[in-house]
A and B are shown apart, each in its own frame.
Chain A
Amino acid sequence: MSQYFHSIRIDTEKCNSRMKCLRVCPTQAIRIRNGKAIIIEEKCIDCGECITACPNNAIVPLTDPFIGLTKFRHTVALPSPGLHAQFGKEILPKKILPGLRNLGFDDACDLSPTCGEVSFAIQEYLRDYNGPRPLISIACPTVVRLIQVKYPSLIEQLIPIELPREVAARELKKKKSRQLGIKESEIGIFYLTPCPAKMISIKQPAEKGRSYLDGAISISDIYGPLLSALEEVEKENYRKDLEDICILGMGWAMVGGICRTLRIKNSLAASGIPDIIKIFDDIERGKLRNIDFVEAYSCPQGCVGGSLTVENLYISYNKVLKLIETLEFEQIKACPDIREVRKRFKENYFLIKGKFEPRPLKPLDKDLAKAIKKRKEKDDIYESLPKIDCGICGAPTCLTFAEDIVKGEAVLTDCIFNLPHKFADLSQELSELLSKFASLQPIRPNISKTLNNKDKK
């Protein structure tokens, strides 16, 4: 088994190397080899850009199938707030939860109360924190991977507060096992996810701990069946589910959703890898020390823009805002009990178990002297390349191509701009060879004769 788990696979049958993925990958993790796209595992941070870009649907997210939950005696669906963003105020969460039960889950629980609690816990953590600022949210697994791979110096600034989905799953397992008298391992809790990256945080948590979730099901897979299941939901079921919703936690799926729940002076929300990279560069240089908290998402507009969602990301972003407005009119809990959160926070209820470690990329060579030599070669090779990043060699940029050559994974003649030189050399060699033969015996006239004869026939 490979070292890193990834939630993205390439279907080589469908791939016809149209290079869209090659160009969008923010970490240059894709190459085209022998006419098929491949992913360099250590470089991939599971952002899912390639899934959205592929015109052939050849890049498939690896989520759990919606069927096959029978492994567990009791199953619970835990929808991401991103699921509510698909429906907005037209179909309220109180209807979605019974809808999920109709689909075959034994239970469905809303994540918003835990989101609200975790928001408060983050606030508690920020209040007592004295280290380098800003602190960075771990809500997006891709952002955490990006920091591990490219910004090891920022690892200390990741907030070690467990995510709502993990806290909720942990507590649900305890509660259900007590209530139903079954083992925790017999309860399967499935996250309904807006992106494949959540899958990696379940299968291979960045902090080397363990996940309390048993799998993740794509929102796009469940959307259709859920729509039809919603029609069967009867009105009287509503009341109880309404009590389990918390307005404060509803915004967690959108960029800025956590910031707006925190009572702090300076916070910053960003989305999209290129913008995040700019912000992380600035943090690393110490430029954003006056900011307390940064919330960053790989997907544009936050989780509502995840590659496994159905609705347009701007529309679903708005739907969240409208949903919050609508819920404010219903008589439901606005936020969790702060005293309760404070008490639990002191008991380390919210603290993550493991520790985040850097995950630097493999160097050009294990031996420092050789690595230095290869780095110099890379510069020389790069200088000889056209620098137009055409991608025909199979690497996204001329610079990555030069790197592939010194690593021994590509050869210079893979670059079509180097082919004319190669042809020139070959034809030179060929004409020299021919001239040698020509001096031995006069073959040329004979060849032309036979050709002419053939033509006449």
Chain B
Amino acid sequence: MKKSDEHVLSQQFEIKGGDFSNAGKTSTSIKEILQEIGIDTSIIIRAAIAAYEAEMNVVMYAQRATFTLNITPEKLCFKVEDEGQGIDNLDMAMQEGFSTATDEMREMGFGAGMGLPNIKRNADRFKIFSTPGKGTSLDLTFFLNQDE
């Protein structure tokens, strides 16, 4: 165990695919935690948007996922690992406006093809791995000391 473990806050959230009535709850809880800890408002805004988009991606395209939040005094990390269809073409998926959403999803206001690009734009560090047919995992980092 590292010495600084008491200054690491880890929390896990389970997200269910297709569960639209609870969609958004995880990102709201995360936002509240960040507000309580006193993270800079501008970072909270970016992190909350990224968290919500990541959560919605799970709800729309995967069966289930674990959303892990890790906060240290230096950085904020989100790890979203889902079990689902995965992404066939990552380069395409990263393009703005590209979407595989169904008409139903679009009717609900989703699937504008902005999800992943939006996440990337808001995070300081963005990593994505995907195995078609198995799932996708997303690694996001936000640095808390802006001057560094």
Give every chain B residue within 8 A of A369 (Cβ-Cβ).
7, 73
Interface residues on A, range: 20 to 34
Known: A369-B73, A371-B38. A281 touches B24 (CB 8 A): yes
Asked if A365 lies at the interface with its beta carbon under 8 angstroms from chain B, I say yes
Of A152, A281, A289, A373, the contact of B6 (CB 8 Å cutoff): A373
The answer to whether B45 touches A285, judged by C-beta atoms less than 8 angstroms apart, is no
Asked if A376 lies at the interface with its beta carbon under 8 angstroms from chain B, I say yes
Asked if A360 lies at the interface with its beta carbon under 8 angstroms from chain B, I say yes
Query: B136: shortest Cβ distance to chain A, in Å?
Result: 20
The answer to whether A368 touches B45, judged by C-beta atoms less than 8 angstroms apart, is no
Query: A285: shortest Cβ distance to chain B, in Å?
Result: 5
The answer to whether B24 touches A364, judged by C-beta atoms less than 8 angstroms apart, is no
Known: A285-B52, A287-B109, A372-B71. A360 touches B37 (CB 8 A): no
Query: B116: shortest Cβ distance to chain A, in Å?
Result: 15
Q: Please report the C-alpha to C-alpha distance between residue A345 and residue B49 in the assembled complex, in whole angstroms.
A: 34
Asked if A428 lies at the interface with its beta carbon under 8 angstroms from chain B, I say no
The answer to whether B72 touches A153, judged by C-beta atoms less than 8 angstroms apart, is no
Known: A289-B109, A361-B35, A366-B38. A372 touches B48 (CB 8 A): no
Give every chain B residue within 8 A of A289 (Cβ-Cβ).
109
Asked if B8 lies at the interface with its beta carbon under 8 angstroms from chain A, I say yes
Of A284, A363, A379, the contact of B37 (CB 8 Å cutoff): A363
The answer to whether A372 touches B72, judged by C-beta atoms less than 8 angstroms apart, is yes
Asked if A375 lies at the interface with its beta carbon under 8 angstroms from chain B, I say yes
Q: Please report the C-alpha to C-alpha distance between residue A287 and residue B105 in the assembled complex, in whole angstroms.
A: 12
The answer to whether B35 touches A360, judged by C-beta atoms less than 8 angstroms apart, is yes
* CB-contacts of B7-60 with A (<8 A): 7-9, 11, 24, 27-28, 33, 35-39, 41, 44-45, 48-49, 52
Closest to A365 in B: B38
* CB-contacts of B52-97 with A (<8 A): 52, 71-73
Give every chain A residue within 8 A of B138 (Cβ-Cβ).
none
The answer to whether A376 touches B9, judged by C-beta atoms less than 8 angstroms apart, is yes
Q: Please report the C-alpha to C-alpha distance between residue A371 and residue B28 in the assembled complex, in whole angstroms.
A: 19
Closest to B114 in A: A286
Q: Please report the C-alpha to C-alpha distance between residue A150 and residue B32 in the assembled complex, in whole angstroms.
A: 9
B interface SS class = helix
Known: A285-B24, A286-B49, A368-B73. A373 touches B7 (CB 8 A): yes
Of A281, A284, A358, A363, the contact of B36 (CB 8 Å cutoff): A363
Closest to A155 in B: B41
Query: A197: shortest Cβ distance to chain B, in Å?
Result: 23
The answer to whether A368 touches B35, judged by C-beta atoms less than 8 angstroms apart, is no
Asked if A290 lies at the interface with its beta carbon under 8 angstroms from chain B, I say yes
Give every chain A residue within 8 A of B38 (Cβ-Cβ).
360, 362-366, 368, 371
Known: A287-B109, A289-B109, A375-B33. A360 touches B41 (CB 8 A): yes
Query: B20: shortest Cβ distance to chain A, in Å?
Result: 11
The answer to whether A372 touches B37, judged by C-beta atoms less than 8 angstroms apart, is yes
Closest to A287 in B: B109
The answer to whether A153 touches B37, judged by C-beta atoms less than 8 angstroms apart, is no
* CB-contacts of A17-49 with B (<8 A): none
Query: A366: shortest Cβ distance to chain B, in Å?
Result: 7
Give every chain B residue within 8 A of A375 (Cβ-Cβ).
9, 33, 36-37
A-side interface residues toward B, CB under 8 Å? Answer: 150, 152-153, 281-282, 284-287, 289-290, 358, 360-366, 368-369, 371-373, 375-376, 379, 403
B-side interface residues toward A, CB under 8 Å? Answer: 6-9, 11, 24, 27-28, 33, 35-39, 41, 44-45, 48-49, 52, 71-73, 109, 144
For this complex, 27 residue pairs linking A to B, each with C-beta atoms less than 8 Å apart, are A152-B44, A153-B48, A281-B24, A284-B48, A284-B52, A285-B27, A286-B49, A360-B41, A361-B36, A363-B35, A363-B36, A363-B37, A363-B38, A363-B39, A364-B38, A368-B39, A368-B73, A371-B36, A372-B7, A372-B8, A372-B9, A372-B37, A372-B72, A372-B73, A375-B9, A375-B36, A375-B37
- Given contact pairs A284-B48, A368-B38, A372-B7, a sample of 16 additional A-B residue pairs in the complex whose CB atoms are under 8 Å apart: A150-B35, A152-B45, A153-B48, A282-B24, A285-B27, A286-B52, A358-B41, A361-B35, A363-B35, A364-B36, A364-B38, A371-B36, A372-B8, A372-B71, A375-B36, A379-B11
Which 9 A-B pairs rank lowest in CB-CB distance, beginning with the nearest? A363-B38, A153-B45, A369-B73, A368-B73, A369-B7, A371-B37, A152-B41, A372-B9, A285-B52
